Amino acid sequence: MAFEKLRKEETLAMRKRLIGQSCRLFYSDEPVKIIKARGQYLFDENDKRYLDCISNVHHVGHCHPSITKAAAEQMDLLNTNARFLHDNIVMYADRLAATLPEKLCVFYFVNSGSEANDLALRLAQQYTQHQDVIVLDHAYHGHLMSLIDISPYKFRKLAGQKEWVHVAPLPDTYRGIYREDHPNPGQAYADTVKDLIEEVHRKGRKISAFFAESLPSVGGQIILPQGYSTKVAEYVRSAGGVFVADEVQTGFGRVGSHFWAFQLQGEGFCPDIVTMGKPMGNGHPLACVATTVEIAGAFTANGVEYFNTFGGNPVSCAIGLAVLDVIEKEDLRGNATRVGAHLKDLLTKLQTQHQIIGDVRGVGLFVGLELVSDRDQKTPATETAARVVKRLKEEDQICVSTDGPWENVVKFKPPMCFSMEDAELAVRCIDRILTGVQCSRLTDET
């Protein structure tokens, strides 16, 4: 293999010396060196195969030959910036438009989810001429300074909350303030946003945007209750603000039944701005903001050019088009629906055998398994979750990881070619590990 020049220990030592230590590795105690991948499988330097349950970026499968071919062919022909007239950018925008509600018909191409959200923030502030932003608790929207400011998951560990940022409760019906037994959690959680808007107005401030992931992932693989987004959008718009749906993790058919996760909220709901990234280029840095003619018009009206050196270049757009083709040709949404339902069923059955499984939730290939040491108290079983992750990797060569404020939600966001057999294998191995944990009473939490 041309790239495999160093022994694993050498790579590790060089990484420690040369790469900023805030850039953490997966499995930092015993990192895995991956040198190639295909479909839903990763291979280490000894050709040991790992099942990848978490790489939502490699959406249509690692190193998919159609994506490689599209990239190589366009790379061989032309790659310029988007200031020259070229077919790819307009053809790609047109294909994306066909997946979205009609009013989301203007596109800006960028290189990462962070860039997309930063631009969404600028669009919202320019359009509304307001500054303040409402975000959900535990949210993460990116690594730029502007986004650390609107990401409670980060700013709580850093400089803290800015006066223009307001945090609404996470609509988590498992452990949030309104739960499954509430008659209308969607409305109840939306009313918390209404209250927040009133509080903001009392301070003499004005809302520019409500930002939320369509399925909060860092927050713990949360499924927003029905009616929530429609009501929030109504409140936010009547305050003069806009609704931004962050689809960086959840877009491009991951939920199976719909192309975008915000569509789970029903036909009547349409955000004002949608940001997208990760799966869009199947690993190639490609991201985007979709918005309305009115919002884009206000951004243009400020008279300042928006120029992004790499955003929307012919190679990126050729890759984006190829990703859309593969999703369709291989019916990956259908696969996400079928395999995701099977995975959720299997995990739900497992819940009847293991007290430690507090909740199983998800839609399509976006699934979370929340571990708790006490079902009534919902005490997060953080260390057990970490142990499950470690043992799955060491004993079964299965890669999963955790999310949620207490890192006790084992998450599944695999490439969309994940199979029934993959789901069965992962669940069998989790069953074996949890059985061992129960028998030996090894949990820190019990």
Ligand X SMILES: Cc1ncc(COP(=O)(O)O)c(C=O)c1O
* Binding site residues, ligand X, CB under 6 A: 112-114, 117, 140-143, 213, 217, 246, 248-249, 277
C-beta closer to ligand X: residue 148 or 239: 148
Residue 445 Cβ vs ligand X, minimum distance, rounded to whole Å: 27
C-beta closer to ligand X: residue 117 or 337: 117
From CA 109, how far away is CA 317, in angstroms rounded? Answer: 9
Question: In this structure, which amino acid lies at residue 28?
Answer: S
C-beta closer to ligand X: residue 115 or 370: 115
Residue 415's nearest CA partner among 224, 251, 296, 279 is: 279
C-beta closer to ligand X: residue 319 or 372: 319
C-beta closer to ligand X: residue 118 or 132: 118
C-beta closer to ligand X: residue 33 or 143: 143
Residue 279 Cβ vs ligand X, minimum distance, rounded to whole Å: 11
C-beta closer to ligand X: residue 123 or 188: 123
C-beta closer to ligand X: residue 154 or 354: 154
From CA 1, how far away is CA 45, in angstroms rounded? Answer: 9
152, 128 Cβ separation under 8 angstroms: no
Residue 277 Cβ vs ligand X, minimum distance, rounded to whole Å: 5
Residue 13 Cβ vs ligand X, minimum distance, rounded to whole Å: 27
Residue 299 Cβ vs ligand X, minimum distance, rounded to whole Å: 20
Residue 113 Cβ vs ligand X, minimum distance, rounded to whole Å: 2
Residues 6+ apart with CB under 8 A from 196: 134, 166, 168
Residue 114 Cβ vs ligand X, minimum distance, rounded to whole Å: 3
C-beta closer to ligand X: residue 213 or 272: 213
Residue 140 Cβ vs ligand X, minimum distance, rounded to whole Å: 5
Partnered with residue 38 across adjacent β-strands are 41
Residue 144 Cβ vs ligand X, minimum distance, rounded to whole Å: 8
C-beta closer to ligand X: residue 2 or 23: 23
278, 57 Cβ separation under 8 angstroms: yes
Residue 5 Cβ vs ligand X, minimum distance, rounded to whole Å: 28
From CA 308, how far away is CA 317, in angstroms rounded? Answer: 14
From CA 351, how far away is CA 370, in angstroms rounded? Answer: 10
Residue 366 Cβ vs ligand X, minimum distance, rounded to whole Å: 12
| Cβ-proximal residue to ligand X, closest one | 113
C-beta closer to ligand X: residue 219 or 358: 219
